[in-house]
Amino acid sequence: MPETALLSARGLAFEAGGGRPVDGVDIDVRAGASVAVMGANGAGKSLLLRLLHGLIAPAAGEVRWRGGPLDRAARRAQAMVFQRPVMLRRSVGANLRFALAARGIAGAERAARQEEAVERARLRGLAHRPARVLSAGEQQRLAVARALACAPELLLLDEPTASLDPASTQAVEALIREARESGVATVTVTHDAGQARRLADELVFLDAGRVAEAGSTAQVLDAPRSEPARAWLEGRLHVGAAR
């Protein structure tokens, strides 16, 4: 395990329906790194993200945070943005306050971070509006800003721009890039090779729950060594072994 690894997974597996949709995955995320996770539908990308965040327990293998266990404190150093943003039935401001309160942030600091998040998400003037009446793009911006307000060291993003229009995608990607520039490590699950190039320096390509290929984003996308990655990039169907 590299000394600088923020998060490290070894032999990670998850069992469901008698199979292993994630099977023996090794992955390292260094502090400040930006990693994209790609693969065909059903490759295990979203499950892998949930395993890394500790939302589900692995059947085998382990996830370590700075060399230690992935405990409550470690999970609090991470934040996750889901494909469909989960908005509480409250105002924009109340959604931010709730997340900050859950992370133990109170008083003037909470107010300051809320204000900063509203600015960051470009939702000034909408702080009192019910979050669920915002457009899909605005909701996802709020979800990313809410996650960043918790000051995570690692931001996990599960297809954060799926089903968003190009303008909304651009706005969400701008937030993610800002986070990267401020030193937050990111792991982004995406189906979009262009987005992987824009947001990640490293790429892990999954096939049927296993790592088919990993390396720099440019190398994997421009000169893939594995058949699953080549097939995917060339638009051919590749059916991996059933697990």
Partner 1 sequence: MSPVVHMMLFQCINFGKEILQEMDGFWQALGRAVGLIVGGDAELIGIVGLSLRVSLGAVAVACLIGLPLGAAVGAFRFPGRAAASVVLNALMGLPPVVVGLVVYLMLSAAGPFGVLGLLYTPAAMTIAQTILVAPIVAALTRQVVEDLDREYAEQFASLGVGPLRRLTALLWDARYALLTVALAGFGRAVAEVGAVMIVGGNIAHATRTMTTAIALETSKGNLELALALGVVLVAIAVAVTGAAMTLRASAARLAYA
Q: Which residues bind partner 1 (CB under 8 A)?
A: 50, 53, 55, 72, 75-76, 78-80, 82, 86, 88-90, 98-99, 101-103, 130-133, 150
In the complex with partner 1, which residue's Cβ is closer, 98 or 112?
Answer: 98
| Element (DSSP H or E) covering residue 46 | helix 45-53
CB of 38 to partner 1, least distance (A): 22
In the complex with partner 1, which residue's Cβ is closer, 133 or 218?
Answer: 133
Residues 6+ apart with CB under 8 A from 111: none
Judging by beta carbons within 10 Å of its beta carbon (0-12, 13-18, 19+), is residue 32 exposed, middle or buried? middle
* Chain centre distance of CA 127: 25
CB of 121 to partner 1, least distance (A): 17
CB of 177 to partner 1, least distance (A): 22
In the complex with partner 1, which residue's Cβ is closer, 64 or 76?
Answer: 76
CB of 98 to partner 1, least distance (A): 7
Cα distances (Å, whole numbers) of residue 79 to 59, 151, 198, 217, 223: 23, 8, 21, 23, 32
- State both tokens at 144: 């990313």
In the complex with partner 1, which residue's Cβ is closer, 75 or 243?
Answer: 75
